[in-house]
Amino acid sequence: MSAELWNSAARVLEDNWAGDHMVPSRKLYPHQWSWDAAFIAIGLGYVNPSRAWRDLRSLFEAQWPDGRVPHIVFDPATAEGDYFPGPAFWNVPAYGRRAARGSTGIVQPPMHAIAAWEVYRHASGHGAACALQAHTELAWLYPRLVAQQDYLLGRRNAGAAGLAAIVHPWESGLDNSPSWDPALAGVPADLSLLETYRRRDLAVADGAQRPTDRDYARYVGLVLNYRDGNYSDNDLAQRHGFVVECPSFNSILGAAELSLAQIAGVLGLGDEARRHRDQAQRITMAIASRLWDPQTRTFHARDVRTGRLSPAHCVSGLMPLMLPDLAPDQTEAIMTEARSARFGLPEQTLLPVPSYDRTAPDFDTQRYWRGPIWINMNWLLRRGMLVHGYRDDAEDLRRSMLRLVHGNGHFEYFDPRTGEGLGAPRFGWTAALSLDLLADRSMPAYARV
Positions that interact with ligand 9WN (CB under 6 A) = 24, 29, 33, 35-36, 71, 170, 173, 175, 201
Contact 253, 286 (CB under 8 A): no
DSSP strands (E only) in 18-79: 32-33, 72-73
**How far is C-alpha 187 from the geometric centre of its chain's CA atoms?**
24
Nearer to ligand 9WN, 22 or 153 (CB): 22
Contact 430, 408 (CB under 8 A): no
Selection from 159, 65, 163, 161 nearest residue 110 by Cα: 163
* Minimum CB–partner distance for residue 194 and ligand 9WN (Å): 14
* Minimum CB–partner distance for residue 221 and ligand 9WN (Å): 15
The verdict on whether 272 is a catalytic residue reads: no
* Minimum CB–partner distance for residue 199 and ligand 9WN (Å): 10
> What does DSSP assign to residue 33?
E
> What does DSSP assign to residue 413?
E
* Minimum CB–partner distance for residue 197 and ligand 9WN (Å): 13
Count other C-beta atoms under 10 Å from residue 313's C-beta. 24
Residue nearest to ligand 9WN (CB): 24
CA–CA distances in Å: residue 23 to residues 13, 106, 169, 276, 383: 9, 18, 21, 31, 25
Nearer to ligand 9WN, 134 or 193 (CB): 193
Nearer to ligand 9WN, 175 or 395 (CB): 175
- Which residue in the list 61, 66, 82, 175 is annotated as catalytic? 175
Question: What backbone torsions phi and psi does residue 95 show, to the nearest 5 degrees?
Answer: -145, 150
Nearer to ligand 9WN, 37 or 189 (CB): 37
**Interior angle at CA 266, CA 122 and CA 65, nearest 5:** 95
The verdict on whether 293 is a catalytic residue reads: no
- Which residue in the list 36, 412, 415, 436 is annotated as catalytic? 412
Nearer to ligand 9WN, 85 or 324 (CB): 85
* Minimum CB–partner distance for residue 122 and ligand 9WN (Å): 23
> What does DSSP assign to residue 368?
T
Contact 241, 187 (CB under 8 A): yes
Task: Kindly give, in sequence order, each residue whose CB lies less than 8 Å from that of residue 127, ignoring residues fewer than 6 positions away.
Answer: none
List active site positions.
175, 412
